[in-house]
Every structure is written in C-alpha cells, then in structure tokens.
Structure 1
Amino acid sequence: MVLIESESDDEISVTEVPNPSASSSSPPKTTDAKIVGGDDSDGFETASERGVSEYEEDEEEGDRKQDAVENQEPQPSDNPEKKEDQVEALLLLVLLFKKEKALEDANEAKKEGNKLFGDGLYEDALSKYELALHFAQEFPESVDLRSICHSNRAICYLKLGKYAEAIKESTKAIELNPSYTKALVRRAEAHEKLEHFEDALTDLKKILELDPSNGQARKSIRRLEPLAAEKQEKMKEEAIAKLKEMGNSILGKFGMSVDNFKAVKDPNTGSYSFSFQN
C-alpha cells in the first residue's frame, strides 16, 4: 500500500507500506518527489529543459538546411554557348570599329596626298599615298582605295620623270582593278616615255576594249603604231649589224666576210634569206 502525506505546498512525500505478506524484517521504503510550480502532470518544463529542447530543434533545423544545400544540384550560372556568342559579337564589333577607323584614316591621307599633288609637291604626295596604303592594306573592302592610291603614285612618278617606278605602281593598280582605265593610260604613257611602244600599244588597245568611245586612246594608237614599226625595223637592223660583226670575226679566218652573203627580204612574210656571192 502507498500512503501520500502532505508535508508542504511544494513538496510531496510518498511512502510505501509493506503488504502483510512481505517479510517483517524489511524496512519501509520512502520515495521523495519534488514539484516546482505545480504537479509534473501539468506538462510544465524547467528552464534548463526548455533550453536543451530549443537547442536540439535549432540544430536539427540547421542539419536539414545543410542537407538541402548539399543535395541541391548545381545550376549553371551562364549558358556557355550564349557566353561564346557574346564574346564573338564583341570581337566583331572591335574589328568593325578598327576597320572603319583604318579606312577613315586612309581616305584622309589620300585627300592630303591629292592636295599636295595639286600644289606640285609630288614627293610629299607620294608619302601620303603610301600612308593611305598602309592604313588600308588589311581590308578586302579597300581594294578600290588601294588601286587609286597606286595609280596616284604612278602619276607622281610620271611628273618626277621616274618612268620605271610609274610602270610598277600602275601595274599594282591594274592587278587590283583590271578594268581601271586611268591606270592603263598612265602605264601606257610611261611605256611611251621609255620607247616601249609595243607595250604602250597593248595598254591602249586594252583601254579601247573597255571603253570603245575613248577617242584619246584611238589617237594615241594611230600615233604610236608607226613609231613601233620604225623601232622594230631599227632593232632588226641593229641585230643584223651585230650578226655581221660576229660573222666577219668567224669568216675572216677563212678569207671571207658576210659581204659574200646577200640578204633578201620576203615582202610577204618579212623574213630574210641569204645567198652566197663572190
């Protein structure tokens, strides 16, 4: 049997009373229980008990958040393909700006060269055209501009009497633009100055192919054709004279000379035949 005795408002003493069947030698057992602030069956906790419970809940919540972070699959911050496209677009913009700036500088240098040429400063004009070519040399879109600059350098060399250089610059212009008649005219003029009449006629005939209405080219052809024929005949005579000289040096050992051979020109073919005579 258990007897409950009240000793005070905050303390309860519980005494076990032995059953009659229990040994008389066993002393009675007493169990003390203290309740602070009321009966423990009311569900109240001590301050220390609440602290431990709240800590454990916070720790569990932290563990859950950590697990969620660890288990979360990484999300790519950016699409690699999109980033690559953006880089390419940026590079294109840089190249476009570089090209526009270079072409702008090239055109400005060409304009300065034109002004210097107009003032008769041909050497200075040559330098400006060269600068324009330097700015424009990397871009396919600058073909026309480069062709013009080479042709302008050709006319500068013509004014300076440097005809071989004029031919070189004109040729560069024509290589860039085969239908550039102005460059063909300047090369033809340089060839004429060097008495390359056949080469000059070739350029003039090309001009007529490109522009049949070019009367100046037609007049130049009529003027140069007899000069070309005359030079060709002169060159033949010079070649024959050299051959005679060589022949005499050889035939003289045998008591003969080239005068023993008569050259006869074929009027139909223009070729020569030789016959021996005493």
Structure 2
Amino acid sequence: MVSIEQVESPAAGKTSTAAEAPSGYVSDGYETASDSELNGAENGSNRESENTINTASSSSDGDFLKEKTQEQQPEVNQEQLNEKALAQANDAKVEGNALFKDGLYEEALSKYELALQVAADIPSSTEIRSICHANRAACFTKLGKHEETIKECTKALELNPTYIKALVRRAEAHEKLEHFEEAITDMTKILELEPSHDQARRTVILLKPLADEKREKMKEEMIGKLKEMGNSILGRFGMSVDNFKTVKDPNTGSYSVQFQK
C-alpha cells in the first residue's frame, strides 16, 4: 500500500529564507504558500491517491481473475468415473467367462474377484456383483469345493434375493453335501418365484424321503448318545436307562417316566 507522508509546517518563530521581509515588516511567524505551490501539492496528492487506488484495483482484479480461473476448472464427474469403473468390471467379467469356458477355473476366479473389487463402491453395481459371485460359485462347483459354492451363492443372493440361478447352484451344492433340508428350502423358494421350474419340482420330490431318513437317523444317534450319558451316570448306582420306561397317558397325551427293575 502506498503511504502518504505528512508534510510538517515550519516551526513557530522561524522566518522564510527564500526572501527577505520588507523593512519595517514584522513577521507573525507563519508563511502562506503561493497558488502555484498549492496547486502542485494538490496535484501531487491526487497522483498519490490515484496510485493507491490503481494499486488496490489491480490487486482486486488479480484476485477476481484467480477466483474466476478456479471456477472455470472442470470438476470431476463422479457419474463418469462410475461408468468407467463399471466398464472395467464388465471387461474383467467377460475375461473370466472366457477362462471358465476354457476350463481355467482358478484364473477365472481371479478375474471375477477383480471385477468385484473394481465395482465394490459403485451403487449401481449390484447386478454385476451378484453375477460375479454366482460365476465364482460355478467355478468352485467345477473344482469340487461345495462349501465355497454355497458361500458365493449366498453373497449373490444377498444382492439379488430372486436370483434363480444362484438358488439352483446353492441347492445343488447342499445336495452334494447331503444338506437335504437346506436344498429343499432353496428349491421351494425357486418354485415360489417360478412355479413351472421342473428341476426344482423334481428335486423336492427326490429329496424329501432322503431328508426324512436323515432326520430319523440323526434322532436315533442323538438318543443313543443320551443313553450312553445316562448309563454312565446311573451306572454308579447300579442302574441303567433301561430301568426307566416312558408311558403315554391316553387321556391327556402326556408322558410319564416309570421305574422298573
């Protein structure tokens, strides 16, 4: 900022050295500037003021141009970034499909995983992510890793609960692991979504007796374990669970335990 210096008045009692006062003239101690000196002083002051204003104006214009330049810089378009990421994810998925067809299941798994990572934070990526999880499930099925198949199908169904292909693959993996109840549940869900689904209907009919048989077998195994536990405790008293018999009351349908020797 241009500073304006203040000019001090001559000290009181001091006379001018520029011209001698006329004889007999007594000075009052002050001098009066001529018109030319006053005009010069005013012009000088005006020029300094103008310089100050111009300097401030120049600074203000510079700030304005800087702000304008910053405003004109293009902002990053998030939608375009998302579209680009989705395109990259889709390319990785297509590469994975090609590897799957060639029987390169491990390599295909890596491509599907890459697609999932690229599309992870994109709100509109639900479909491609559910497909990639289902495709990874198909790879694990080919590799005989049925537990992993179930996990990947579950992830796909969390993204898309009506994904029939994922339900079919999970049901098939459950069946191979003899999880008959779980397989029936998945196939029943498919029939709710698509009543004409023949594979689901046939599978439910096939697995129901197997599920019943497994349930009975599990019940017998549980009872056998309970008997072993009971005998280990009652044996200390010279008894066994065979000394106890459950009797059903025909009137109430309730059971009672009776001791017999």
Q: Same fold (TM over 0.5)?
A: yes
AA in 2 matched with 1:77? F
Match of 1:77 in 2: 64
Tell me the residue number matched to 2:241: 258
- Cα distance between partner residues in 2 of 1:183 and 1:274: 49
AA aligned to 2:215 is Q
Cα deviation, residue 137, structure 1: 0.8
The alpha carbon displacement at 1:60 in A equals: 4.5
- The one-letter code sitting in structure 2 at the alignment partner of 1:138 is D
Equivalents in 1 of 2:215, 2:138: separation in Å?
Answer: 28
Aligned to 1:123: 106
CA pair 257-127 structure 1, distance change in 2 beyond 3 A: same
Give structure 1 stretches of 5+ with no counterpart: 1-52
Question: What does residue range 95-244 of structure 1 map to in structure 2 within 5 Å?
Answer: 95-244=78-227
Assess, with a 3 A threshold, how the Cα gap between structure 1 residues 264 and 115 changes in structure 2: closer, same or farther. farther
Q: Which residue identity is paired with 2:197? A: N
Letter in 1 for 2:142: K
| Counterpart secondary structure, 2:64 | coil
TM-fit CA distance, 1:262 = 3.6
Identity %: 61
Partner of 1:22: none
Question: Aligned-pair RMSD on alpha carbons?
Answer: 3.2
Please state whether the residue corresponding to 1:124 is helix, strand or coil.
helix
Deviation per CA, 1:203-260, whole angstroms, max 9, x where unpaired?
1111111112212111111111111111111110000000111111111122221222
Deviations 1:59-96 (A, max 9, x none): 9599459538718875673696x878756x612x2x33
Whole-Å Cα distance in 2 between the matches of residues 225 and 190 of structure 1? 16
Query: Radius of gyration: which is bigger?
Result: 1
Higher relative contact order (CA 8 A, sep 6+): 2
Q: Distance in 1 between matches of 2:105 and 2:79?
A: 33
Q: CA deviation at 1:159?
A: 1.3
CA distance in 2, matches of 1:219, 1:251: 49
Q: How many residue pairs are counted as aligned between the two chains?
A: 215
Name 1:21's counterpart in structure 2: none
Q: In the alignment, which residue of structure 1 is the partner of 2:30? A: none
Query: Where do 5+ consecutive residues of structure 2 fail to align?
Result: 1-35
Per the normalisation by structure 2, the TM-score is: 0.71
